[in-house]
């Protein structure tokens, strides 16, 4: 089984119940496809570096990262679910690569999560 990460950016004015509902749907979809959830991180509201073309007025988004393991059909199932879900500004699903421990080669180690810097920017003044 491979490790994957799904980064979802929700509209900042979306209710917390709706965000939790979508995250629960993603978790259920992963489990229904015989995958396993490793961790769910709610990063909160962050500034978007680039506004999507559709919505020039949106400059922030609520970020949620879901880390999971599964076969190749699991991320495809999650992707198809997120495409039709309302309230999501953007999403990205990527393979997480293992990080080697210090002093070791490429074998073993913790999971390394690589996120495109264009997806995330720290808010100013915090």
Residue 68 maps to which CATH number?
3.30.70.60
Provide the number of structural domains found in the chain: 1
What is the pLDDT, as a whole number, of residue 97?
76
pLDDT band at 109 (very low <50, low <70, confident <90, very high): very low
The radius of gyration of the chain from alpha carbons, rounded to an integer in Å, stands at 15
What is the pLDDT, as a whole number, of residue 105?
52
Residue 124 lies in a domain: no
For tokens 């495109």, what's the residue? Answer: 116
Residue 16 lies in a domain: yes
pLDDT digits (tens, 9 = 90+) for 26-76: 999 999 999 999 999 999 999 887 765 665 678 899 999 999 999 989 999
Residues 19 and 42: their CA atoms lie apart, in Å, by 10
CA distances from 6 to 72, 79, 125 (A): 14, 9, 28
List the domain range (segments joined by +) for residue 41: 2-119
Strand order in the sheet with 60-70: 36-47, 60-70, 2-10, 88-95
Question: Which candidate, 57, 39, 59, places its Cα nearest to that of 48?
Answer: 59
The predicted model gives 8-22 an average pLDDT of: 93
Strand partners, 3: 69
């Amino acid at each position: 089984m491979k490790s994957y990460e799904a980064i979802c950016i929700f509209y900042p004015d979306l209710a917390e119940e709706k965000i939790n509902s979508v995250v629960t749907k993603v978790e259920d979809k992963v489990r229904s496809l015989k995958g396993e959830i490793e961790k769910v991180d709610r990063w909160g509201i962050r500034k978007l570096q680039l506004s999507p073309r559709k919505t020039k007025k949106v400059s922030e988004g609520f970020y949620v990262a879901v880390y999971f393991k599964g076969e190749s059909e699991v991320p495809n199932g999650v992707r198809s679910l997120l495409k039709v879900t309302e309230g999501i500004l953007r999403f990205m699903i990527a393979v997480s690569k293992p990080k080697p421990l210090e002093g070791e080669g490429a074998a073993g180690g913790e999971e390394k999560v690589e996120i495109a810097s264009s997806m995330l920017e720290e808010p100013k003044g915090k």
